[in-house]
Structure 1
Amino acid sequence: MTADLTYDQLKAKQRRLRENFPETMGLRVHRAISWIGRAETCDDDDGKFIFLWIAFNAAYADENVFQVKQPGERSAFTEFFERLIALDEQRRIYNAIWQRFSGPVRLLMSNPYVFNPFWQHHNGIEGFEDWEERFKASSRAFAQAVQNGDTKRVLSFVFDRLYVLRNQIVHGGSTWNSGINRAQVRDGAAVLAFLVPVFVDLMMDNPREDWGKPFYPVVS
């Protein structure tokens, strides 16, 4: 199994290459790596997940996400995935997921508490009484995507679950370090911990691609 990329490895590469980075792309990578480093020093899963999601945001979110008329956050990071996958000639993203499939990836995907229709049903919204059938169908479709090596679809499934967890934590729908439903936070943090560094590393390998303009540039 290939070892996960660490903050020290990413930072050393960034220092070695940053003179050739376009300003906006360099800012993205600098910020994302800083939050990856912060996540590594965090000793609780809630904090790790939040810091790694910030690193993910730093890498992908451009000014369009903050416009009044926006396509939605999930569609924005789907476009980011498409760009990464097109550049990922060695299939590093898929291989990272495959290596962890029997661990945090499988556990996350088998957890109903990060499946949006589950919460729609339990919040009394009509039309989601069949959430269990939907969950089983989603699990089958995910397994088929993995088997087919469809990286785009695999990432879509995984980040749909991670986005539910992100909303639950960030919008105050959970208790810090709670003894209830800890598995999804642990597994979500573990999945982000091995995927986000790969995303950032691929960006550094392709600095001249259009990674978008950060909405919050450095202003003197």
Structure 2
Amino acid sequence: MGLRAHRAISWIGRAEACDEDDDARFIFLWIAFNAAYADEREFQAFPQGERAAFLDFFGRLVALDKDRRIYRAIWQRFSGPLRLLMENRYVFNPFWQHHNGIDGFEDWEDRFKTSARAFAQAFQGGDTARVLSFVFDRLYVLRNQLVHGGSTWNSGVNRAQVRDGASILGFLMPVFVDLMMDHPTNDWGKPFYPVIE
């Protein structure tokens, strides 16, 4: 856990130095997220996939969050940006699968509506872990757009989603790391690339 926290904090610090560069800030915060949650076991024979790994991590964090810091962030500070993110088709993976000609995604609009309803139910029901899972599904698409060169740096297009994504991650990542540090004996998984002498 110490190595995870140390690495995540280092990337959070780097993100904070980005000032107005939301693209870089988002990428550095995503690296911090990877440092905090990613488990080496995911890369063994039968990986469970990103979505399941996210949900597992969020479930553990929410269970430990007795002061409900994550809950308050979602419902008080970021309810507007989260709803806008969920209503944005440009960070919905099936939208891009369809527009990239991949079979089986002709119904992306129905999936989008179904996802929006499921998110609204989780949001209204106070299911913090599930809300985070929906949000990070969208942020993962944004991450892919940035990291894989599917976006222009500092572009005038879709700036709100990058800015909001960086703000959401910028607030949540320190909370996630604090919760991990408050519970150092929990099994946070084996970190990638341990320090080997």
Q: Structures share a fold, TM > 0.5?
A: yes
* Shift in Å, 1:179: 1.6
The equivalent of 1:26 in structure 2 is 2
* Shift in Å, 1:180: 1.6
* Shift in Å, 1:68: 4.9
TM (norm. structure 2) is 0.92
User: SS at 1:46's partner residue?
Assistant: helix
In structure 1, which of residues 120, 137, 141 is the aligned counterpart of residue 97 of structure 2? 120
Unaligned runs of 5+ in 2: none
- Contact 2:51/2:133 (CA < 8 Å) preserved in 1? no
- Contact 2:54/2:133 (CA < 8 Å) preserved in 1? no
* Structure 1 position 202 matched with structure 2 position 164: no
Unaligned runs of 5+ in 1: 1-24
The equivalent of 1:38 in structure 2 is 14
Return the index of the structure with the highest Cα Rg. Answer: 1
Partners of 1:80 and 1:133 in 2: CA distance: 28
What do residues 122-177 of structure 1 show as CA deviations (whole Å, max 9, x unaligned)? 11223322322322222222112111101121011101101111111111111111
Q: CA RMSD in A?
A: 1.5
TM (norm. structure 1) is 0.83
- Contact 1:66/1:215 (CA < 8 Å) preserved in 2? no
* Shift in Å, 1:186: 1.2
Partners of 1:154 and 1:40 in 2: CA distance: 25
The number of residues matched between the two structures is: 196
* Structure 1 position 193 matched with structure 2 position 166: no
Partners of 1:52 and 1:89 in 2: CA distance: 24
Q: What are the residue-to-residue correspondences of 1:1-220 with 2, within 5 Å?
A: 25-43=1-19, 44-220=21-197
* Shift in Å, 1:181: 1.8
Partners of 1:102 and 1:76 in 2: CA distance: 24
* Shift in Å, 1:57: 0.7
